[in-house]
Structure 1
């Protein structure tokens, strides 16, 4: 069965965006992008909430995203080649190919996608991931920790989740970012 992997770039104090919504401090740089792209090649489907989908759609709709660097161009190709499922009550239409809308987060749907998928699934977006954590459908967590304390904002992990993890991999990068990969222990 495919794995559902929660991946995010976060500050050392666990935020994916600061109090003003900025996350530019987490730009990974080419070394990290090259590493990230290798693991993202195994993802065949991305699960998003509306906000994260609208942010990520630029990888297909805005050529400037890919033009920024070779690593960005590679990520754009990977992202465009994957299926996307957006969990949203309010989104009416999608602007990208290979994308469908589901009106609510359904753990049974996620389990069915995992069971039938030929590749792993990625999940991004703090709110949809919180639903997935609470439904116990996340199998792995990959965190790219930026060398930054932001002091508040949008947390990577939901409050009230207590989950044992097993460290599978770790790596340091020249820009001070650290990659941590954990399996969810059941």
Structure 2
């Protein structure tokens, strides 16, 4: 059975975007980016909410010969993975290996997990909240930035209750801290 992971870049106060929807404060430096590349290298399928897909779709055209190696590497990871976008309004996917689902169906995700031995990644805080609520997330990782934004889009939804076991931690030169947890039943 496959594993579903949720990894996000967040502020110290738990937001993935500030009140204005900005997340420029979360841009990873080369060290953090290389680490994220290694985290996502084995992802076979990305499950994405519409807004996260819109942000990530730029990787379809990035990674050309003039780009830094860390950018080229992530572009390859993105292009080689399947993508499922959950959107009630997106008419056509603008990226390869992408299909659109109109609604998030926990049973369909369970079936996808059962059909693979690989890693699936869920992206987008709102979509991840649905997966957490359905008991689908096996592991979560947080790249915590040394910034407080005071409000915005939370990395985890209000009223979510979960027991977690710390599996890994890492500190980066720019002050980012990575925490990886297993979700306990």
TM-score range, shorter chain: over 0.9
Q: Deviations over 1:61-97 (max 9, x none)?
A: 3x37985532121111101100000111111100001
Structure 1 residues 6-17: aligned runs within 5 Å:
6-17=6-17
Q: Give distance in 2, aligned partners of 1:169 and 1:58.
A: 30
Q: Is the 8 A contact 1:142 1:182 kept in 2?
A: yes
Q: Unmatched 5+ residue regions in structure 1?
A: none
Q: Give distance in 1, aligned partners of 2:65 and 2:124.
A: 21
Give the structure-1-normalised TM-score.
Answer: 0.95
Q: Is the 8 A contact 2:63 2:73 kept in 1?
A: no
Q: Give distance in 2, aligned partners of 1:157 and 1:94.
A: 26
CA RMSD of aligned residues (A): 1.4
Query: What is the match of residue 25 of structure 1?
Result: 25
Q: Is the 8 A contact 1:2 1:114 kept in 2?
A: yes
Q: Is the 8 A contact 2:63 2:71 kept in 1?
A: no
Runs of 4+ more than 4 Å apart: 64-68
1:116–1:56 Cα change, 3 Å = same
Give the structure-2-normalised TM-score.
Answer: 0.96
Q: Tell me how many residue pairs correspond in the alignment.
A: 185
1:66–1:36 Cα change, 3 Å = farther
Q: Is the 8 A contact 1:5 1:123 kept in 2?
A: yes
Q: Unmatched 5+ residue regions in structure 2?
A: none
Q: Is the 8 A contact 1:165 1:184 kept in 2?
A: yes
